[in-house]
Amino acid sequence: MPPPKKSRRRPKSFLTCPQCGSADLYYEAALITGYKYHCKKCGYIGPFVIERDLTDEEVGE
């Protein structure tokens, strides 16, 4: 019997604010300056955000 195939799916992830940790971000602009995100909670505006993977508890599996 052949071994089971490994899943190559990427884990689900979400973006968080680097200042307050909130996931309540929205995409603001992407012109010559590059991507910019805006945090609704603390007002952060900038290109740097943190991408977090969902854990099994957060997914509900």
The tens digit of pLDDT for each residue in 19-32 reads 999 999 998 877 77
Burial class (CB in 10 A: 0-12, 13-18, 19+), 7: exposed
Higher pLDDT, 27 or 1: 27
3-state secondary structure of 59: helix
Alpha helices in 1-61 (DSSP H): 56-59
pLDDT, one tens digit per residue, over 2-60 is: 665 655 666 688 899 999 999 999 988 777 767 899 999 999 999 899 999 887 555 55
Domain regions of the chain by residue span: 14-54
User: What pLDDT is stored for residue 57 in this prediction?
Assistant: 56
User: What pLDDT is stored for residue 27 in this prediction?
Assistant: 87
